[in-house]
Structure 1
């Protein structure tokens, strides 16, 4: 229900605006960036739902979950035992909350004269009739949960037996002690939930847990682990597995599922009351470090369960996490992801964040360090193709300056693999999961397959043929290419020099035709001889290829190659944590539409 927090001053949150969606919200950042404090501010923006008889059982269950499974939320705001001013000396309004109905409330710091502690309370405007909205809130401090199976539920009678053994304790005092213990520990047992949560919801809790772990559980009680938390105790149908043997992650998973189902119970009960029907958000679930001790596969599966419950039962969810797996998945699912950046004595919020930046910040690495090994492999048929790709990339960089920073994200694999073999590898069902992390660029005389990350060089032919054919065109036309003053002419690549090279090209073709006349096999011979000739005059042929790229007739080919490379780059960059901003927009490389009518 909270749409926006405008924090004037609270701990390291200074002049900070945080916006939330009614669905899933993810907060990340290094330690010390006040992530838990934000959860506290959200929880502090509401008051408990009271006065509705039909929802009484729901609220008892929700209150029990908060009491049994987590530290009290207020302890997050109090911090040290000694008083520390949370607002850095700022007086008056320190927080403004905007709700989804566009109403707003301002909050001030309230100092307790009794114990030198403080609280954050609404600053009600006189005669305006303001009050805190009512909303059920569950806070799960998973980062503070520790899983132990050795502890047992607190036994009041056992403690009283030991107290009775003391000679100085009379019956009146013993009765008082019993009363105190019962009041303090009244929410210590699972019976509170069992009594108020209908059996069908308890069955759903156990079924959802079984969906994750393949373990069927039955409620028994809650264990108290020191002064830190309380955890569910249960038996299972699997020998050797119970609440004492499950992992900390599975323990936390059980807590989260219980919270979700309890908020579902509240939603379904509230639908019976017309006064609750117009509420956009029915409840708020706050989870501190959702990923705590959870295997990555559980993290993703749990995210999907939370998403399902958030959408179906109008639960606003805000969780913190350090898990790169969970953050990446949340971004892909279009969740509202915020990253808190530590700036020393304050933090800033990065709303428009990508996985590259998050990796960099959380791993405390520089962009150069992170990108050092983050390169997309490009497979080609041979070295000639790689040579021409370098020239094509230089051409594209001249036309699109933003492409220069993309070039560093590619790595040409130094291997010579035929086009048919490359196609087989990239289309193999077993290998496709890994190969999709690479790009295949075949010669232009084959077909592209964008779905399999296969594109082709411009030119609709193999590299040597493109160059040889264009050299023929240059020699047959009276153009500026052979004029004195051209750089290549000054280097000795004159018209006469080119004619002698052209004769070698013709000689290869004549030899091939002679072999065919003599009924001899010519398979692969012409390509082999062409490659040899190409490598003998590589520098000159690179100049010819650049001239081909600059020819107006080829601009549609270049634009089409550029567009295809853009597509496969953005399909593969995620696997290497390459930021989308490196190449977020493709460009029209040529201004004339006539020049690019083939793209």
Structure 2
């Protein structure tokens, strides 16, 4: 089932639509600059189950007569619409919201409205019942939760965690002294620890969509990184989705393809796109970085690759680097496995001239693409000598003994030659190359774009 929320004329947002496929059971992270509308989106999602969310958590006068929030599901049910009501000076609905919809989503807001920051008196009224049950040893050991917390924080400090079922709710505490039964209730743990316990509870309840604003705010960088690993596992185990916002680069860097999105404003319309880590790092923080690397033989091939993809929209930020010689390219690619100078091996592509196809040193080497010609200079040289349709008609004087040297000389001379009233450019030459092997160039370009984009 797909869940869609659409905001119109809410605070500074004229339009924002977010769709979540609840069948995916995955992580969805939304990053973005401050004030782009991330928290407003989270409030809007929470408003579906807690209808006074905006009255409790937002500043007044963020709505006007054109304001609305629409919640849609693709299972055939009627959309739920909250529109402006002058009686409450906010949005409201006259529709009945089914209990199964209210229970579908749980939301955790940031300071000062989040549960993790308002828990110190939460269990005060339960203390007498807890004390009585603990005194007679009437409690259990939540092994799965202990593994969850120890995995995130490291060590074994949660080994003494216990749970008690009172009514329909589970309550947690840490036994500090087995004889005296001295204990620490969950609401007296740190805000991060308490937050993780409550997050675990939501997974156990199999709430279909868990939404957390500023998930990193009460966790250190190490815990953030380990939390992502556990969330990925728990989403699959409990058939749950988790959508969260963050500003943490440490956390963002751990996310996989399809998990990371970026919210950006185009005038007053906010759009959310799937983006790469280095795109977000550059836009939000001004740090430069690359997601993909293309290693190739020489500067000419580097220029040709950049020419082919220059007018294409590539998902990943990339860098093309010429090394000097095919064997050196593969040597550096192999050394990357040990040195990790370019990151993960699948993020590095070797592009070689076509005359290297079938060479023995390439056996068992992954991520290698070949030019559809022996090499660029030699293909131009052959065309000049063989094709009566070679477009650059003026006779050209070039030097060199071997065909290879003459080809390089021809290429340089072409760039100094007038054609059709102007100097010949790299673009003229590269465009002509396509006529020599249209299918080969098309396949070569598609291989490059496949490497530089998320699979469709």
| CA 146–235 in structure 1, closer or farther in 2 if over 3 Å, else same | farther
Is 1:443 aligned to residue 353 of structure 2?
A: yes
2:56 is matched with which residue: 78, 91, 96?
78
Give the alignment partner of residue 198 of structure 2, picking from 256, 259, 282: 259
- Contact 2:260–2:274, Cα closer than 8 Å, also in 1: no
Residue 301 and residue 3 in structure 1: after superposition, are their counterparts in 2 closer, same or farther (change >3 A)?
same
Who is 1:339 aligned against? 263
**In structure 2, what is the Cα distance between the partners aligned to 1:465 and 1:2?**
54
Match of 1:239 in 2: none
Q: 1:252 to 1:286 in 2, by over 3 A?
A: farther
Alignment partner of 1:289 is 2:214: yes
Give the drift of 1:209.
0.9
Partner of 2:421 in structure 1? none
Q: Which residue of 426, 432, 445 maps to 2:333?
A: 426
Contact conserved, 1:7 with 1:17, CA < 8 A, in 2?
yes
> Are 1:565 and 2:438 counterparts?
no
Q: Deviations over 1:348-378 (max 9, x none)?
A: 3313442376456534x6xxxx88x759665
CA distance in 2, matches of 1:110, 1:188: 42
Are 2:140 and 1:204 aligned? no
> CA separation in 2, counterparts of 1:541 and 1:190?
90
- How far apart are 1:289 and its partner, in Å? 0.9
1:38 aligns with: 41
CA contact (8 A) 2:381 2:410 kept: no
Corresponding residue SS for 1:402 = coil
CA shift in 2, pair 1:201/1:375, >3 Å: closer
Match of 2:80 in 1: 105
Where do residues 133-172 of structure 1 align in structure 2 (5 Å cutoff)? 133=100, 134-135=102-103, 138-141=106-109, 143-144=111-112
- In the alignment, the residues of structure 1 paired with residue 127 and residue 90 of structure 2 have an alpha-carbon distance, to the nearest angstrom, of 26
Instruction: Write the distance in 2 (CA, Å) between the matches of 1:311 and 1:404.
Output: 32
Distance 1:488 1:119, change over 3 A: closer
**What's 2:3 paired with?**
3
1:454 is matched with 368
Task: Tell me the distance in 2 between the aligned counterparts of 1:316 and 1:569.
Answer: 27
Contact 2:296 2:352 in 1 (8 A): yes
Give the CA RMSD over aligned residues. 5.3
* Structure 2 counterpart of 1:317, from 242, 255, 259: 242
Query: Which piece of structure 1 moves more, 286-295 or 204-213?
Result: 286-295
Contact 2:353/2:371 (<8 A) preserved? yes
Aligned to 2:168: none
Q: Which string of whole-angstrom CA distances, capped at 9 and with x for unpartnered residues, describes residues 439-474 of structure 1? A: 4333333237696443334433x6676566666546
**Residue 386 of structure 1 corresponds to which residue in structure 2?**
299
SS of structure 1 residue aligned to 2:356: coil
Instruction: Quickly say closer, same or farther: Cα 1:119–1:316, change in 2 above 3 A.
Output: farther
Conserved in 2, the CA contact under 8 Å of 1:284 and 1:315? yes
Gap regions ≥5 residues in structure 2: 164-171, 178-182, 418-423
- Residue number in structure 2 paired with 1:64: none
Q: 1:387 to 1:40 in 2, by over 3 A?
A: closer
SS at match of 2:214: coil
- Tell me the SS of whatever aligns to 1:455: strand
Question: Matches of 2:129 and 2:109 in 1, distance apart?
Answer: 19
1:205 is displaced (CA, Å) by 1.5
1:434 counterpart SS class = coil
Q: Secondary structure at the match of 2:350?
A: strand
Deviations 1:47-75 (A, max 9, x none): 7xxxxxxxxxxxxxxxxxxxxxxxxx967
**3-state SS of paired residue (1:290):** coil
1:21-78 per-residue CA deviation (whole Å, 9 max, x = no partner) reads 324544433223443343333333237xxxxxxxxxxxxxxxxxxxxxxxxx967643
- Distance, in Å, in 2 between the alignment partners of 1:377 and 1:25 is 26
Shift of the 348–305 alpha-carbon distance from structure 1 to 2, 3 Å rule, reads farther
The CA distance in 2 between the partners of 1:388 and 1:108, in whole Å, is 58
State the match for 2:180 in structure 1.
none
Secondary structure of residue in 1 paired with 2:142: helix
Question: Does the Cα contact within 8 Å between 2:29 and 2:246 map onto a contact in 1?
Answer: yes
- Write the mapping of 1:469-488 to structure 2, written as runs, cut at 5 A: 473=386, 479=388
Contact 2:110–2:214 (8 Å) recurs in 1: yes
Query: Which blocks of at least 5 consecutive residues in structure 1 are unaligned?
Result: 48-72, 155-182, 222-230, 237-241, 244-249, 268-281, 510-529, 571-579, 586-599
Change (3 A) 1:467 1:311: closer
1:208 Cα deviation (Å)?
A: 1.2
Which protein is richer in strand relative to its size? 2
Q: How many residues are treated as equivalent by the alignment? A: 408
2:169 is matched with none
* Inter-partner Cα distance in structure 2 for 1:451 and 1:468: 30
CA contact (8 A) 1:94 1:107 kept: yes
Q: Is the 8 A contact 1:11 1:86 kept in 2?
A: yes
Tell me if the contact between 1:40 and 1:74 (Cα under 8 Å) persists in the aligned partners: no
CA distance in 2, matches of 1:558, 1:465: 16
Shift of the alpha carbon at 1:288? 1.8
Alpha-carbon distance in 2 for matches of 1:337, 1:427:
32
Contact 1:377/1:410 (8 A) holds in 2: yes
2 CA distance for matches of 1:40 and 1:17?
Answer: 14
Q: Tell me how far 1:558 sits from its aligned partner.
A: 3.4
Provide the C-alpha distance between the structure 2 equivalents of 1:326 and 1:432, rounded to a whole number of angstroms: 20
* TM-score, normalisation: structure 1: 0.52
